[in-house]
Structure 1
């Protein structure tokens, strides 16, 4: 089995790429002038990282997916993610980036908000594509952090570094939301697939075999991560993916209740519920009546 490089500290990453460590918990890197770097490696990140790539120089893989990682894209990694790096022969890793250890943000406002930056848990083939103006903003934020790292530390250093990282992440969230808007046609196509998959799921034996449909099931089916898929559905429909699934489930349930003589228990099992009481509870919460009441009043 191929060795996995564990990157649990800033020092480990800097050594791997021949970078100088100015702070034990955070670094700003420019890999355009590195002399030592792995041409092929599998890395297990124990730190947060964001990279702005300047040109295509190789492939990054996360699981079975390859990054959509061309010039002017940003990729992000969170602790626990494993990434495979494959450099093309004769190429260098031309990119700028920020890496920081989780300990850096403990006790800060960023530490409390870090889970809200959902792009850290996106699948790696969902890179963020930046405009020239957005690239400039990204680099400017990196420069502000770098300036704090090269000056002597004082009582303000940790807070200023943390706030500048937070500023960069906030801009990235804005860029991600913009990307959902500019890729409307692609998103609409995915929603069409989602609808078709929902129909097929409830028309098949999947509910009885696999249970209630999950967001992950549909995200995997369209080759997106659950977080990215959920954000896409929310942006396009105003509903969460889970709400969208529930709406479809209730619609199918109504058809079965009114269009057949099946018992409530039979309908519940066919929809994927393990217990009829669970189905009744969800149906009443959503519709305002139990399945039995709904059958009578309709």
Structure 2
């Protein structure tokens, strides 16, 4: 697992898996065509989606292990490193990988929207677990792309291929929303843990030392990726994680404002604001009054 295999192009990855390159920017890779191999770490210079079909060791992302079983999807954005830890054993890959280069999306609607599919930034324990019906839909999308790749490229090819990728990603968005509900036990108490984390944060001296809490800080403290964390909080509360934290800051600020021994600037500093005017602006935006006016009128 020490050496990293680098795949900069779609053709590189096709060669590694004994698949034919029909298009330089996209491929539906049949992993069963690959030779048996041992686990290794891999760098991908393109979007990669794995559909796993068989047990073949743990899929590792960074230092974490994916919650990766048969019938699951894992999404990697360009520049990410992942790999299989087969514990030194040789295994036969199974399943499929949809790989496409960012250049394929240039001048397309999907190219402008690809960053909205936040599951490309999900990490450990956040793979998409498919039902049998969902798996059939995924394979149908792959089949439609494969159909286009088997035919000569014409003026319709790119539009049809990219629109099918977009359809596939939109289905995955729906499937993830379903998973947030059906895996409620796994996610049980996440909002409560988030609330407790914020309470603890503002009772400590961390705001004055390191500033306001960030989504990345909270996600790391809760052992979840920022993307998955943000989507889960949005699903559970109807608010973004950032908005939820801002409301918490205002809630704490309202309590502290009535301590007349402290100036508004001191309170802003205690809450983690770098500049008092930023605190005043946010408070007025959320409450409708400046902190000083709120202190005086209430």
TM-score range, shorter chain: over 0.9
1:43 aligns with 2:49: no
Partner of 2:85: 86
Partner of 2:33: 33
Q: Secondary structure at the match of 2:73?
A: strand
Partner of 1:274: 274
Q: Secondary structure at the match of 1:40?
A: coil
Partner of 2:234: 234
Mapped to 2, the partners of 1:214 and 1:6 lie a distance apart of: 33
Mapped to 2, the partners of 1:250 and 1:121 lie a distance apart of: 29
Report if the CA contact (8 A) 1:18-1:36 is conserved.
no
Partner of 1:289: 289
Mapped to 1, the partners of 2:94 and 2:260 lie a distance apart of: 63
Mapped to 1, the partners of 2:36 and 2:9 lie a distance apart of: 18
Report if the CA contact (8 A) 1:73-1:129 is conserved.
yes
1:72-221 correspondence runs (5 A) = 72-87=71-86, 89-221=89-221
Mapped to 2, the partners of 1:283 and 1:188 lie a distance apart of: 31
Shift in CA distance, 8/55, structure 1 to aligned 2, threshold 3 Å = same
Mapped to 2, the partners of 1:149 and 1:260 lie a distance apart of: 71
Mapped to 2, the partners of 1:102 and 1:179 lie a distance apart of: 27
Aligned length: 297
Mapped to 1, the partners of 2:101 and 2:144 lie a distance apart of: 18
Partner of 1:17: 17
Deviates further, 180-189 or 22-31: 180-189
Mapped to 1, the partners of 2:297 and 2:265 lie a distance apart of: 19
Report if the CA contact (8 A) 1:97-1:142 is conserved.
no
Q: Secondary structure at the match of 1:43?
A: strand
Mapped to 1, the partners of 2:267 and 2:188 lie a distance apart of: 31
State the Cα distance separating 1:85 from its structure 2 match: 2.2
Unaligned runs of 5+ in 1: none
Mapped to 2, the partners of 1:68 and 1:26 lie a distance apart of: 26
Partner of 1:63: 62
Report if the CA contact (8 A) 1:10-1:100 is conserved.
yes
Q: Secondary structure at the match of 2:247?
A: helix
Report if the CA contact (8 A) 1:122-1:227 is conserved.
yes
Report if the CA contact (8 A) 1:17-1:36 is conserved.
no
State the Cα distance separating 1:124 from its structure 2 match: 4.0
Per-residue CA distance 1:93-130 (angstroms, 9 max, x = gap): 21112101111111122212211111111124310000
Deviates further, 177-186 or 15-24: 177-186
Report if the CA contact (8 A) 1:62-1:125 is conserved.
no
Report if the CA contact (8 A) 1:56-1:69 is conserved.
no
Mapped to 2, the partners of 1:124 and 1:13 lie a distance apart of: 23
State the Cα distance separating 1:280 from its structure 2 match: 1.2
Report if the CA contact (8 A) 2:36-2:90 is conserved.
no
State the Cα distance separating 1:2 from its structure 2 match: 3.7
> What root-mean-square deviation, in Å, do the aligned CA atoms of Structure 1 and Structure 2 show?
1.5
